[in-house]
Structure 1
Amino acid sequence: MSIQGQVDHLAAGDGQAPTVGVEEEHFLVHPGSRAVESAGPRVVARATPVLGDLVSGEYTQCQIEVKTPPCSDGAQLRAELARLRAGAAAAAREEGLRLCASGTPVLRSGGPSDIGANPRYQKALGQYRSALEDFEVCALHVHVRVDDRELAVLAANHVRPWLPLLVAMSANSPYCDGRDTGYESWRSMVRGQFPCWGPPPYAGSLEHYRRLATAMQDVDAMPDAAYAYWDLRPHARFPTLEVRAMDVPVDVDDSAALALLVRALVATAVDRARRGDPGPEPCSELLRAAYWRAARDGWPGDGVCALTGEIVPSSVQAERLVEDVRPALEAYGDLETVEDFLRRLAKHGTGAQRQRAAAERRTERQGAPELEEGAPDGDGGVTRGIVDDLVVRTEAGTGPGAPDRERLLRAEVRG
C-alpha cells in the first residue's frame, strides 16, 4: 500500500487524528529532607480550584496525578501538560512542598506508605498485603481514542511487542530509597513482582480478553477485571486504548513526544486490525525478558526484540518503530516532535541517565545550589542533589518564571 493509502486508512471517519490524553503521576517531596511526604490530599485540595477534576490523588498519599483533557494536536497536548504541571507545582509550594517527576522516590520517608482512600486501592492492599506497603511508583499513562472496544483489543496485539521499548525510552527511576538500584527503570521491576502488571496476554477478541481478565480476578490475582492492571488495556469507562508501561518523564516535552509516538503506534495498530491483521503473538516469556532487559539497560542499551529474540540496541529499535508508524506521524503533524525527542535522547539520554549525571555533578562539586540546606545524609548530599535537579526539571518550561530547558542544558555542559 502506498504512503498516501496508509494515511487514508489511518484517518478517522471524520478525517481527524484520534484524540490523545495523558495522565502524569508525580511525587511530593519536602525541600529540606528531599524525601517524599504524604500530603496528596492537601495539595489536591489546593490545586482543585485552579485545575478542577484534572488533578487527583493517587495510590499513595505522597503522590498526585494530573490528567489532560483529550487533545487533537501536539501543541495543545504540550500546553495542557505544562499548565497542569505548573498548577500542581504551585499548589505543592503553597503546602511547603515540591513536585518531583521520577518513577520511584529517590528518598523515602521511612515506614509503610500511606494509602489513598479509593476503595480499589484498599482492596488491592488486602490482596497483595505487604508487597504494596512501599509501592511508590509514578507513571505516564497515554490514552488514544478507539471507539470500538473489539478493535481496541485487536489493536493491542500489535502494540504489545513494542512495550519494552517504551520502557527503555521513558526510563526515569534508577534510584530508590537512597540507593542506585543498577537499573534504569526500577519502577518496572517493582511492578513486575505482581501477577497482573506488565504486558497483557494476547487476546483474539474482546470476549477472549474479558475471559482472561475475569480468570485473573477469580483466582484473586487481579482486584477488578474491569480495571485490568496490565500495561495495555481498553479502558473500562473511556473509549480509549491505554498504554501504561512508561515511567513519568522529568521533561514535559518528553512526556508530550512519547504520547504522540504512542498515538501513532496505536493508530497504525488500529488500521492493521481493521484490515484483518491479527497481529504477532510473541512468546510471553520472551516478552517479559524483553521488559526486564529494557528496565535494566534502558537507552541506548542492548535490548531484546520480543518478536525474534535477537539483541537489538533500543536506539535501533526506536528507529524501526518511527519508520513503521511514519505515515501516522506525518498525517498528524507529529514527526518533527518525535524526531526532536529522539535527538534529545541521543544527546542527553533518558531521565535515568540525567539522574545519574546529576549525582556525578554533585559528587564533583559539592555545594551546588539546592532547594534548601539541611537534612544530613550519608552520601555527602548526592541524593539530595538528584532530587533538587529533578524538581527544577519537573517545572522547566511550564510557564512564566519556570526554568527553561536550554539553561539546564548549558548547566549540564558546564557541569
Structure 2
Amino acid sequence: MDGQEKRENHVWNGDAPTLGVEEEYFLVHPGTRGLEPAGARVVARAAATAGEAVTGEFTQYQVEGRTVPCQGTEELREELRRVRAAAVTATRAEGLGLCASGTPVLGASRREDIGDHPRYRAGSDQYRAMLDDFAVSAFHVHVHLPERELAVLVGNHLRPWLPLLVALSANSPFHEGLDTGYASWRAVIRGRFPCLGPPPYAESLDHHERLATAMAESEAMLEPGMPFWDVRPNPRLPTLEVRSMDVLADIDDTVALTVLIRALVVTAADRVVRGDPGPRVGAELLRAAYWRAARDGWPGSGVDALSGRVLPAPEQAERLVRHVRPVLEAYGDMGEVSAFLRRLAARGTGAERQRAWARDGAGPAGVVDALVRATDCVSVP
C-alpha cells in the first residue's frame, strides 16, 4: 500500500474541519490598573459594529470575543484581529483598557459584580463563597465535530494532553498584586470546583450523560446538559470544545495553539473510528499533572499522564507534535506550530513575559500596562 492509499484510510483525508475561538478579557482602569465592572457598557458599545461577536462574561469585569467558524490559519488570524479590535475599540470608548491575562494582576473581584445572567446567579447561590474571587479568563477552542458519540470518545484521547495545554498557555502568575509562584493561577482557582477540570473517562455518550446527570443531582454541577469540563461536546454547537487554556495576549500564539488542538482532535477521531476508545488515565494522576503544569508551566517539568513520568514541558511538546504531525502537515499548519515552539524557547509563555515585565522595575502596575499593549490590536494614531 503506497502513501496515498494509506492517507485515504484516515478521517483527516479531505478538508480540515472548521474551528473557532472564544477569548475572555479583563477590563482595567488606566489609573488604578484594577478591575472595572463595565462589561455591560462595553458590550453595548461593541454591538453597533460587531454584533454578537463581543458578549458579556461571568463577571462585569470581563467581556468575551467570539470568532465565526474558520478553516485556515490566516482566516482565523484575521477573524481574531477583527473581534479583538471591536472589543478594544469599545473598551477604549469607555476610558478603559482591555487585558488578556488568566487572572487579574491587580484589583479584587466582588461576587456582587457577577454578570446579569440567570445561570451566573444560580452558580453564585450554589457555590457561595467559592465564587468570591472567581474572576478568570480563558480561551476556548471549538473544532467542528457534529457526532456527539464520537466527540465524547475523542475526549478520552484528549484527557492526557490537557495538562500540557495548561503549561503551554500559562498566562496568570499574578493574582491581586502578588506573584503566586505558579505559572497558571487560573488553573488553581478552577481546580477547587468539582465541576471544572478534565472530564471523566466515558465509555459512551450515554455514560457521559449519566455522569453529568449524577453530578448535577449532587449540586456539584449546575446543569447536566451544560457540563463545564475541559473537553465537552458543546451543548449548542456541532463542535468539540477544549477549555483548559489561559487567554493569551499574543494572537499568533492563540492561532498556533488552536491549530495544534485541531490536529489533536482529528488524530483522536481517526483512532476512535478505528476502534480505539482512548487510554484510561486515572483521575488522580491527571489531577496531579494539572497541578504540576499549573505550578511549573514552561519550561518546567510536568507529569506525562500517559506514562506517569515527570518530563520537561518542551519534551512533552515535542511528543505531542510527533503524535499529530501527519495532520499538521496535511492541513499546512506545521510551520505555525513550529514557530510557536520557537517563540516559547526564546521568551517563554505569558507567565514568563509577565514576570519579565515586573522585573523591568514597574511592578504589577507595569505588568498591566504591558498586557494592555500586547492585547491591543488596533493601531493608535
User: Does residue 121 of structure 2 align to residue 122 of structure 1?
Assistant: yes
Amino acid in structure 2 at the alignment position of 1:100: C
Amino acid in structure 2 at the alignment position of 1:306: A
Query: Within 5 A, what are the aligned runs for 1:401-412?
Result: 401=380
TM-score, scaled to structure 2: 0.97
Can you list the C-alpha shifts for 1:210-239, whole angstroms capped at 9, x where unaligned? 000000001110001111011110111111
Extract structure 1 runs of 4+ deviating beyond 3 A.
1-13, 109-113, 399-402
CA distance in 2, matches of 1:382, 1:58: 28
| Counterpart in the other structure of 1:8 | 8
Amino acid in structure 2 at the alignment position of 1:97: L
Amino acid in structure 1 at the alignment position of 2:73: G
User: Does residue 8 of structure 2 align to residue 27 of structure 1?
Assistant: no
CA distance in 1, matches of 2:242, 2:6: 23
| Counterpart in the other structure of 2:101 | 102
Identify unmatched segments of 5+ residues in structure 1.
364-380, 403-415
Residues 214 and 341 of structure 1: CA distance in aligned 2, closer, same or farther (over 3 Å): same
| Contact 2:27/2:91 (8 A) holds in 1 | yes
| Counterpart in the other structure of 2:242 | 243
| Contact 1:141/1:244 (8 A) holds in 2 | yes
Please give the secondary structure, in 1, of the residue aligned with 2:51. helix
| Contact 2:108/2:133 (8 A) holds in 1 | no
| Counterpart in the other structure of 2:364 | 383
Aligned-pair CA distance for 1:112: 3.6
Amino acid in structure 2 at the alignment position of 1:296: R
Residues 181 and 332 of structure 1: CA distance in aligned 2, closer, same or farther (over 3 Å): same
Please give the secondary structure, in 2, of the residue aligned with 1:225. coil
| Counterpart in the other structure of 2:50 | 51
CA distance in 2, matches of 1:74, 1:263: 11
| Counterpart in the other structure of 1:190 | 189
Aligned-pair CA distance for 1:119: 1.1
| Counterpart in the other structure of 1:371 | none
| Contact 2:11/2:269 (8 A) holds in 1 | no
CA distance in 2, matches of 1:2, 1:327: 15
CA distance in 2, matches of 1:154, 1:2: 29
Residues 214 and 322 of structure 1: CA distance in aligned 2, closer, same or farther (over 3 Å): same
Please give the secondary structure, in 2, of the residue aligned with 1:125. helix
Aligned-pair CA distance for 1:399: 4.6
Residues 278 and 3 of structure 1: CA distance in aligned 2, closer, same or farther (over 3 Å): farther
CA distance in 2, matches of 1:243, 1:272: 18
Residues 249 and 7 of structure 1: CA distance in aligned 2, closer, same or farther (over 3 Å): farther
| Contact 1:61/1:113 (8 A) holds in 2 | no
Aligned-pair CA distance for 1:120: 1.0
CA distance in 2, matches of 1:314, 1:180: 21
| Contact 2:152/2:232 (8 A) holds in 1 | yes
Can you list the C-alpha shifts for 1:151-201, whole angstroms capped at 9, x where unaligned? 000111111100000000000000000000000000000000000100000
CA distance in 2, matches of 1:147, 1:265: 16
| Contact 2:303/2:311 (8 A) holds in 1 | yes
Residues 229 and 355 of structure 1: CA distance in aligned 2, closer, same or farther (over 3 Å): same
TM-score, scaled to structure 1: 0.89
Please give the secondary structure, in 1, of the residue aligned with 2:113. coil
Query: Within 5 A, what are the aligned runs for 1:330-409?
Result: 330-361=329-360, 363=361, 381-395=362-376, 398-401=377-380
**What percentage of aligned pairs have identical amino acids?**
59
